[in-house]
Amino acid sequence: MLANEFSETCFQYENFMVWEIENMDAFFKGNEVLKTIFEDCYKIPFKDFKERRKEIQETDLQMMTKLLNYVDDKHFFIFTIHDENHLELVKMQRMKIMDFGLNIEDIRKDRVYVMIMDKKTASFS
């Protein structure tokens, strides 16, 4: 999801949680299904990931984004300090559009962050 899309559609989501990821090990430990998605997507057994990492041309951030796109039951918004997505979140916090449960401006520069959320279901009365 792109920053400008999220700022326009954030009210369609609920149950926000920010996941701080320190490295790829932490990413895969965050949810066991990511290992299965990795194997399906890259056709490499997860146990061989570290030794075969050079075969995957994508950066860690690109790989995380790609794998999270395959998760069906949640929606994700990935950001790092001062990237376009982070700046949009900071703007939303300053304008009091969103309360993220933490100071979104005060994040670490050596981490990747993922906003995890659920799409609201339409309720018809």
Question: For the chain, what is the domain count?
Answer: 1
* The pair of three-digit structure tokens given for residue 99, joined into one six-digit string: 């309360």
Domain enclosing residue 66, as ranges = 3-119
Q: Could you report the per-residue pLDDT of 38-81, keeping only the tens digit for each?
A: 999 999 999 999 999 999 999 999 999 999 999 988 899 899 99
Given a contact cutoff of 8 angstroms between Cβ atoms, the answer to whether 79 and 86 are in contact is: yes
Given a contact cutoff of 8 angstroms between Cβ atoms, the answer to whether 65 and 47 are in contact is: no
Please check whether residue 125 lies inside any domain of the structure. no
Average pLDDT over residues 10-28: 92
User: What is the per-residue pLDDT for 123?
Assistant: 56
User: What is the per-residue pLDDT for 10?
Assistant: 84
Give the span between the Cα atoms of 43 and 4, in whole angstroms: 33
Report the chain's mean pLDDT, rounded to a whole number.
90
Cα 89–Cα 86–Cα 107 angle in degrees, nearest 5: 100
Please check whether residue 26 lies inside any domain of the structure. yes
